Amino acid sequence: MRIIGTGSALPDKIVTNDMLAGFLDTSDSWIRTRTGIETRRMLSTGTLRDLAYDAAMSALESANIRGSKIDYVICSNVANSYVSPSLSSILLNRLGCKCPCFDLNGACAGFIYALDIAESFLKTGRAKNILIICAEEPTRFCNWHERETSVLFGDGAGAVVVTTGNNLMGIRVTADTHTDVLYYKRSMERTPYDRVEERTTPLVMIGREVFRLAVSASIKDIDTLMKQCKVTSEDIDLFLLHQANLRIIENIREHLGQPKEKFPTNMQHYGNTSSASIPILLDELHKEGRLNDGATLMLSAFGGGFVTGAALIKWSQI
């Protein structure tokens, strides 16, 4: 696999910590020191579909390829207002794609899961060009009266186009059942026969437990992948980690003993955008010219499930 195009899109509305402190019992200093987040972008008048479309079009342009040349569209999304059809189906015609598509829910690790699936489609010859779109609006999962969760998230979309190549050095995905620490539950329509009443429960998160699981799982993924690929942390140029919390990234960085410059971040501006966070960061670095030809990138993410994923990629100039 080789990444040949990147794109991203963010809502225009910027929400500062002080704006949240206007209606929640919180403060700019609490949010900054505990998470690193200063502002987040939130959908206000636009839709997630438009954001996903903009990110995808930007990735297609960056890859210099038309939608009609895409053989598969994979969309990573935890939840949006449509349960069916999938977000990828909704976008397909508008993108000019005439190929199969599906959505996957790998929570915040969805981008790594999508890369894993894309790699197998490319290896088997099932597809040559694949468009991966990660589009998320986690701000819509939260109870906005609860300061514990609502301050953490932001909306956004990131996308990449991948084709055949030898740039994926290694990939690892894991899953485990820990539904109690991080979940968002939606009620479905009632039938005349169901006797179990289920209510929608906005995002529940046991922050400290998620923090602990996130740090230990990411360290295990990164260490395992480095061993498998016979590289050390010194050989890795940039670590693109899920942008959930600066302190989680700091813990991982300290374990790896690498300098801060190797850990680019953008959660300061966007908050946690779930599976979109790594492709948004990748696109920013690419467009800023910060990805050198031949650079080795370690991608690593964790999310509700509990799921995790890491990928080691050799960057080729697009």
Residue 143 designated active-site: no
Q: Which of positions 76-115 make contact with ligand ACO (CB under 6 A)?
A: 108
Closest approach of Cβ 25 to ligand ACO, in Å? 7
Select 41 or 147, whichever has its Cβ closest to ligand ACO. Answer: 147
Is residue 183 part of the contact set for ligand ACO (CB under 6 A)? no
The length of the chain is 318
Q: How many residues bind ligand ACO (CB under 6 A)?
A: 24
Residue 242 designated active-site: yes
Residue of 97, 99, 108, 142 marked catalytic: 108
Q: What is the DSSP letter of 2?
A: E
The partner residues of 73 in beta bridges, in order of sequence, read 101, 131
Q: Residue 13, class by beta-carbon neighbours within 10 Å (0-12 exposed, 13-18 middle, 19+ buried)?
A: middle
Helices marked H in the chain: 17-21, 28-35, 48-63, 87-92, 110-123, 147-150, 207-229, 246-256, 267-270, 277-287
Site map 13..52 versus ligand ACO, x via CB under 6 A: -------------x---xx--xx-----------------
3-state helix, strand, coil in the chain (%, to 5): 40, 25, 40
Closest approach of Cβ 189 to ligand ACO, in Å? 26
Helix, strand or coil for residue 256?
Answer: helix
Q: Which of 129, 137, 116, 119 is nearest to 11 (CA)?
A: 137
Is residue 151 part of the contact set for ligand ACO (CB under 6 A)? yes
In the complex, the residues that contact ligand ACO under the rule CB under 6 A are 26, 30-31, 34-35, 108, 147-148, 151-152, 182, 205, 207-208, 210-211, 214, 244-245, 248, 272, 274, 303-304
Give the residue numbers annotated as catalytic, written as ranges.
108, 242, 272
